[in-house]
A and B are shown apart, each in its own frame.
Chain A
Amino acid sequence: MQEPLFDSVDEVVERLAGAGYLASTAVATTVFLADRLGKPLLVEGPAGVGKTELANALARATGSDLIRLQCYEGIDEARALYEWNHAKQLLRITAGRDEGWEQARDEVFSEEFLLPRPLLKAIRNPDPTVLLIDETDKADVEMEGLLLEVLGDFQVTVPELGTISARRRPFVLLTSNATRELSEALKRRCLFLHLDFPAPELERDIVTLKVPGLDARLTDSVVRVVGALRSMELRKAPSIAETVDWARTLLALGADTLDEQVVETSLGVILKYQSDHRKAAAELRLDTLLS
């Protein structure tokens, strides 16, 4: 078994913070376990809570390479695992016109003509690797079967070359927005982390970290208003990314307090639907105040 990346949960918190990611106890504990138990980590949660960012921060914190596989509908083995460079193979065959079949065959299916895609790349990488499989729920069910094989044994079989096993087990992080239920088999092989909106204190720290120029009192108000918005039944609750955007907007606007006028003009940064906008305005009594 290879060296674990972290010695303790506290170390996870510390090093992620060093990479610009403030992790809650739940996140840090789960990351620590995924590392220790050598299991892939499936992170599920609403958009914009920092699922992808976690992978980025992990790579930065541990000095690993980040290899990303973005899933989409119709992604297949050739895009995820490897494919043969047909054009180059043809060139090679044309170039060596007078050689025999045996020789050409051996040459053409060799390392030189193999195009490694993210999964194969991650497995073959001798350096520490964080493999991010993003939006797994967008891929088809067949893709999950492929992932099972790769993540189960950390090896890939290329018929012409033989089996390629991982030299170093990558830290695998799968993300999902839960638009589709992933298969039980895949879930069983992973540790599961539901990433939700952070507690107010944590979110305040995140905003302070990302937008250091913003006045502490204003930061506090921003987090409180966002918290209040999340407790309403909105079509899309504001995410952390949007909180940070809003804080940046306020900084740019030069606002020093958060009053109804400022909120009214900048609410579009955090709410993306007209109906949400109306509802928030009604609940926060923006309309009655401004009319």
Chain B
Amino acid sequence: MSASALPERLVEFVGSLREHGIAVGPGETVDAAAAVDVLGLADREQLRAALAATVLRRSGQRATFDSLFDLYFPVAVGSAESAGPPPADAAELREALVAALAEGDEARLRSLASAAVEEFGRYGSFGDGGSGGGAGGMRGWSAYQALDRVRPDALLNRVLTTIRADDGAFAEAVARTEARSRITRYREAVQAEARRRTAELRGRERIAHYAVPPQTDLVSFTNATRAQLAELRRTIQPLSRKLATRLATRRRRARRGQIDLRRTLRRSLATGGVPMRPAMRDRRPGRPELVLLCDMSGSVAGFAQFTLLLVQALSDQFSKIRTFAFVELTDEITGLVTAGSADPEGLARRILTQAKLTRWGMSSDYGGSLASFVDGWADAVGPRTSVLILGDGRTNGGDPNLEAVRRIAGRAKHVHWLNPEARSAWGTGDSAALEYGRVVPMHECRNLRQLTHLVTELLPG
């Protein structure tokens, strides 16, 4: 890259970061340029660190930053040079991959990732006389296709046999965890490589726009991949700590109440009617009670499960939390959730197997569930309870049973409905969201950022 092209590239890069929700001001861009000026361009990892230091402001942004960095400041142009001769077919590549995975050789893994994309990831017509980017819509590099041929996940056992130098089930268990995370890194490398190659073909900005995954806190709950859900779960502990500090501060601030006029006047008698020392009305202490009512049907289970874990992690902020899940019927799952904090992954499965939520099918029945909640656990909701209902409000054409929601709202201190669907989808098809929304306040809650915001806003301090 020539020196004159750099400012332009940097500005494009920053623009792309902004598009992905990382706010980078002009001041930061200038800092970044100054950093590059001081460091030079010789070392790519130094450049990466320098840009990260100047433009990023919080830790969660790193993955997005790295993906975009690889696009805008690629390792190489065209097919990346590989450490050895390129493998002839899939079998040979898998052979090499097993060795690299077993050794944990990162450089070799990366070169095998680019080899996989080069050999198997190509799609569309790559004729020699191809007309540049014009007809580029039909060709490109596909990580999916490459991974489909290489099938790195199926290599786990072969990697383990290779590693197993010393015996022992313990050593094997450690090796297994290691091998798994290396395979994940390999998959990511293939994806990054395919993005980079496609970007060369079709223009960087397009690829940056479509193919770079969003930041974790903007991933939508309902279409998150397994890996993204795992990443989301990993953020729960730090997030809950952050939220707890915020709630505790707010509670402390709120402890001193308003001026108590009567006592102030009474006191002022001693100073001849001049209110020298205003008396404050003390707030009644007490933490709020919380009732969660979660739709655990397939479409929204991920969202409900995540919210459950978050609330569970915040449990010391409430005097009492009771959790109910429903699909067709409602059942209390407080005990399951409490026990589930050690194993967040299996929580949904255990709720579905151990609680009585269904009669026949797996599709949600809001009417029946709400009715069974109101009938069976009427005492769960009292004047000090805040109720959160989690669900998309899709009744499958059944009766929404607004009356039940009205009754809950009548008894509770307040009720909020968190809906993981986009606001624009409310009321379409079998969604009764708008009807429910007229009874209780309904909030769009599609990603971690919205959930964080809602939890701090809605929960009484």
In the complex, which residues 239-291 of chain A have their Cβ closer than 8 Å to any Cβ of chain B? 258-260, 263, 275, 278-279, 283-286, 288-289
- What would be 30 A-B contacts, judged by CB atoms less than 8 Å apart? A26-B53, A29-B39, A29-B46, A29-B50, A29-B53, A32-B38, A32-B39, A33-B38, A33-B53, A37-B38, A46-B238, A178-B238, A178-B242, A179-B242, A180-B245, A181-B58, A187-B57, A188-B25, A188-B27, A224-B174, A224-B178, A231-B177, A233-B234, A260-B169, A275-B341, A275-B342, A278-B342, A284-B170, A285-B170, A288-B169
Q: Are B56 and A192 in contact (CB under 8 A)?
A: yes
In the complex, which residues 311-352 of chain B have their Cβ closer than 8 Å to any Cβ of chain A? 341-345
Residues in A neighbouring B59, C-beta threshold 8 A = 44-45, 178, 194
A164 within 8 A of B: no
* Bound CA span A192–B51, Å: 10
A146 within 8 A of B: no
Question: A126 to nearest B CB, angstroms?
Answer: 26
B206 within 8 A of A: no
A150 within 8 A of B: no
Encode A33-71 as 1/0 by CB contact (under 8 A) with B: 110110100001110000000000000000000000000
In the complex, which residues 97-134 of chain B have their Cβ closer than 8 Å to any Cβ of chain A? 104
Q: Are B174 and A228 in contact (CB under 8 A)?
A: yes
In the complex, which residues 129-178 of chain B have their Cβ closer than 8 Å to any Cβ of chain A? 168-170, 173-174, 177-178
Q: Which of A45, A191, A235, A285 contacts B53 (CB 8 A)?
A: A191
B444 within 8 A of A: no
B28-36, B265-273, B294-302: which lies at the interface: B28-36
Q: Are B173 and A181 in contact (CB under 8 A)?
A: no
Residues in A neighbouring B53, C-beta threshold 8 A = 26, 29-30, 33-34, 191-193
Q: Which of B49, B58, B168, B241 contacts A179 (CB 8 A)?
A: B241
Q: Are B342 and A180 in contact (CB under 8 A)?
A: no
Q: Interface residues of A: mostly helix, strand, loop or mixed?
A: helix
Question: B111 to nearest A CB, angstroms?
Answer: 18
Residues in B neighbouring A275, C-beta threshold 8 A = 341-342
A200 within 8 A of B: yes
B411 within 8 A of A: no
B258 within 8 A of A: no
Question: A202 to nearest B CB, angstroms?
Answer: 13
Q: Are A191 and B28 in contact (CB under 8 A)?
A: no
Encode B170-212 as 1/0 by CB contact (under 8 A) with A: 1001100110110000000000000000000000000000000
A227 within 8 A of B: yes
* Bound CA span A235–B45, Å: 31
B223 within 8 A of A: no
B355 within 8 A of A: no
Kindly count the residue-residue contacts between A and B in the assembled complex, taking CB atoms under 8 Å apart: 121
A9 within 8 A of B: yes
Question: B312 to nearest A CB, angstroms?
Answer: 12
In the complex, which residues 342-392 of chain B have their Cβ closer than 8 Å to any Cβ of chain A? 342-345
* Bound CA span A16–B35, Å: 21
Q: Are B62 and A194 in contact (CB under 8 A)?
A: yes
* Bound CA span A93–B101, Å: 77
A234 and chain B: residue at smallest CB distance: B237
A73 and chain B: residue at smallest CB distance: B249
The tally of residues in A whose CB lies under 8 Å from a CB in B reads 49
A106 within 8 A of B: no
Question: B315 to nearest A CB, angstroms?
Answer: 14
B6 within 8 A of A: no
* Bound CA span A30–B237, Å: 28
Asked, given contacts A180-B245, A275-B342, whether A232 binds B49 with beta carbons under 8 Å apart, the answer is no
Question: A11 to nearest B CB, angstroms?
Answer: 13
* Bound CA span A260–B172, Å: 11
* Bound CA span A233–B25, Å: 35
Question: B324 to nearest A CB, angstroms?
Answer: 24
Q: Are B170 and A286 in contact (CB under 8 A)?
A: yes
Q: Which of B48, B52, B181 contacts A192 (CB 8 A)?
A: B52
B230 within 8 A of A: yes
Q: Are B237 and A260 in contact (CB under 8 A)?
A: no
The tally of residues in B whose CB lies under 8 Å from a CB in A reads 46
B27 and chain A: residue at smallest CB distance: A188
A157 within 8 A of B: no
Q: Are A192 and B57 in contact (CB under 8 A)?
A: yes
Asked, given contacts A9-B39, A36-B38, A194-B62, whether A283 binds B177 with beta carbons under 8 Å apart, the answer is yes
Residues in B neighbouring A221, C-beta threshold 8 A = 174
Residues in A neighbouring B233, C-beta threshold 8 A = 233
Question: B457 to nearest A CB, angstroms?
Answer: 15
A225 within 8 A of B: yes
Question: A247 to nearest B CB, angstroms?
Answer: 16
Asked, given contacts A26-B52, A29-B46, A180-B245, whether A260 binds B168 with beta carbons under 8 Å apart, the answer is yes
Q: Are A233 and B242 in contact (CB under 8 A)?
A: no
B54 within 8 A of A: yes
Can you add 19 more A-B contacts, CB < 8 Å, to A37-B34, A44-B58, A178-B238?
A: A26-B52, A29-B45, A29-B50, A33-B54, A34-B53, A37-B31, A45-B59, A178-B58, A188-B27, A200-B104, A258-B170, A263-B170, A275-B342, A283-B173, A283-B177, A285-B173, A286-B170, A288-B169, A289-B170
Q: Are B49 and A26 in contact (CB under 8 A)?
A: yes
B45 and chain A: residue at smallest CB distance: A25
Residues in A neighbouring B287, C-beta threshold 8 A = none
Q: Are B170 and A181 in contact (CB under 8 A)?
A: no
Residues in A neighbouring B49, C-beta threshold 8 A = 25-26, 29-30
Q: Which of A29, A180, A227, A278 contacts B242 (CB 8 A)?
A: A180
A184 within 8 A of B: yes
For the complex of A and B, 9 pairs with smallest distance between CB atoms: A29-B49, A228-B177, A275-B342, A26-B49, A260-B170, A30-B53, A191-B53, A194-B59, A284-B173
Question: B73 to nearest A CB, angstroms?
Answer: 14
B449 within 8 A of A: no
In the complex, which residues 145-204 of chain A have their Cβ closer than 8 Å to any Cβ of chain B? 178-181, 184, 187-188, 191-194, 200
Q: Are A33 and B50 in contact (CB under 8 A)?
A: yes
* Bound CA span A260–B173, Å: 11
In the complex, which residues 12-32 of chain A have their Cβ closer than 8 Å to any Cβ of chain B? 25-26, 29-30, 32
Residues in A neighbouring B245, C-beta threshold 8 A = 179-180
Residues in A neighbouring B62, C-beta threshold 8 A = 194
Residues in B neighbouring A284, C-beta threshold 8 A = 170, 173-174
Q: Are A232 and B242 in contact (CB under 8 A)?
A: no
